[in-house]
Structure 1
Amino acid sequence: MNFNEEYYRSNKQDKDRIGLFFYKNLINYYFKPKAILDYGCGTGYLLKRLSRLRTVQSSYGFEINEFAINEAKNNSKNTNVISDLKKINSESIDTIISLHVIEHLSNKELEQIIKSFRRILNKNGNIVFATPAKDGLAHKIKQKTWIGFSDKTHINLKTFKEWKNFFNSNGLKIIKSSNDGLWDFPYNHNKFTMGRILIFIKMIFQILTGRLLLKYDQGETFIFILQFE
């Protein structure tokens, strides 16, 4: 499938959305970076939010899709939208965030990208990956109708343990892991238990503050904070 204008519009990635507000808050809460890269920045709405953080002095968006590049440049005018990581100096980035990108890439492609990340990240820099949580709560509830299976370009869905092993084999360690909760309604399975209600409460708190409270398997999306060993 082509990542064209239709893809972005059909997946509602051509507009700003509450999830990007959450990830902006997450970056601000945990890192307060001076230089940041949004890898796979899409149409640039997260990049725009990140560039406006008080601590950020330089912001980069990496994208290879022509439609997305043009949209990102228009939506986030005070940032650097690039299609080649070689344009970023070595050890110049504090934080890299990549939302729902790695599930579209093969292990071999990811390994090469991680090598590039190692070059451009500062010594104590961080990487944030968000990817569909295979075997997470949402997957277990919806099973074959889970949203993670709805996109044919999701060629690399892994369980938490599989991702952990993959990261470790590429020199990355998980500093923190979490989830973004249950948001793909309806969840037609059992009744609203107290545990489910607590997930919704924590999810709202996470969105508003950026502080991660949910366990890695309590929803739709794994959230990994990583550093190189």
Structure 2
Amino acid sequence: MTAGAVLVFSATAGYRHASIPAGAAALAELAERQGMPARHTEDPGDLRPDALAGCAVVVFLSPTGEVLHDRARAALRGFVTGGGGFLGVHAAACAEYDWPYYGELLGARFDGHPPVQPADVHVHDRTHPATAHLPAVWRWTDEWYDFRAGPAGRGVRVLASADGTSYEGGATGADHPLVWCHRAGAGRVFYTALGHLGSAYADPDFRGHLGGALRWCAGAAE
């Protein structure tokens, strides 16, 4: 791939989100607007050192289950720790449960969710390029993930959280991070739990969220 490219990976071995095609198209458009050619794949063989050497960012777009073989795992780990960017979107928290490094990389593991419904997102950091354009309280409709453990204590920068009192059925409680970022070795890691619905990827606020995340993961913005 061309230097500074974006590789979008969305293989599934469990539940498959119908929003993946819309998400892949949106991410490609957002990346290319920033001068980063993009490619979508579901082949773990594309996660290999020679291909990743040309990438700025690898995006895991709602993969589920155990989808990587050992060579792909080693290549992804080397890419991130060596300075590459990693962006996890929505069900990225539902993949690779038997790979401890991946859980550390992402910062959380999916545990469950109530039905899709609107809720309030509290935006804590309005200086990050992924959240600077959002209001302090953002009303949004999504699938609100509960996590087995949150990213607290892992050196992460929490950018936004769900207000558990604004929707029904959540199990995480008051401290419910949704969006965060951190460093892993020399690399940059960003995760957003949002993005269940295909319609999200046409929404200007959500597209701005993903575009800012791409810029930050690529090292083009702080």
Same fold (TM over 0.5): no
Taking structure 2 as the reference length, what is the TM-score of the superposition?
A: 0.39
Bigger radius of gyration? 1
Bigger strand fraction? 2
TM-score, with length taken from structure 1: 0.38
**1 or 2, which has the higher helix percentage?**
1
